[in-house]
Amino acid sequence: FVTFLTGLAMFGAIFFVPLLFQGVLGASATASGSFLTPMMLGIVFGAAISGQVLSRTGGHYRIQGILGLSIMVIGTFMLSLVSGDTTNGYALASVVIMGFGLGTSFPLYTIAVQNGVPQRYLGIATSSTQFFRSVGGSIGLAVFGSYMVRQFKGGMQENLPDEAFEVVPPQLLEQITSNPNSLLSPEGTDSLQSAFAASGESGAALGEQVFGAIRESLAGAIGDVFLIAFIFVLIGVIATAFIREVP
Each residue's pLDDT tens digit, 101-119: 989 888 888 888 988 899 9
Q: What counts of helices (H) and strands (E) characterise the chain?
A: 11, 0
Higher per-residue pLDDT: 158 or 138: 138
Mean pLDDT of 200-229: 81
Q: Which one has a higher pLDDT value, 244 or 72? A: 72
Provide the residue type at 156 as one letter. Answer: M
Q: What integer is the mean pLDDT of 68-96?
A: 91
Contact predicate 133/6, CB 8 Å: yes
Distances 41 to 47, 97, 108, 139, 228 between C-alpha atoms, Å? 10, 10, 18, 25, 24
pLDDT recorded at residue 173? 66
Model pLDDT, residue 171: 66
Say what the pTM is: 0.84
Least confident of 19-33, 53-67, 130-144: 19-33
Predicted local distance difference test score (pLDDT) of residue 211:
76
Distance (Å) of CA 69 to CA 22, 81, 93, 140:
27, 19, 16, 18
What is the predicted pLDDT for the residue at 172?
65
Long-range contacts of 79-83 (CB under 8 A, 24+ apart): 79/13, 79/17, 79/20, 79/222, 79/223, 79/226, 79/229, 80/223, 80/224, 80/226, 80/227, 80/229, 80/230, 81/223, 82/20, 82/24, 82/219, 82/222, 82/223, 82/226, 83/216, 83/219, 83/220, 83/223
What DSSP string describes 146-213?
A: HHHHHHHHHHHHHHS-HHHHHHS-HHHHHHHHH-THHHH-HHHHHHHHHHHHTT-HHHHHHHHHHHHH
More confident residue, 178 or 77: 77
Q: Which residue has the higher pLDDT, 205 or 222?
A: 222
Q: What is the pLDDT of residues 149-205, one digit of tens each?
A: 889 888 888 877 777 666 666 666 666 666 666 556 666 666 666 666 666 666 667
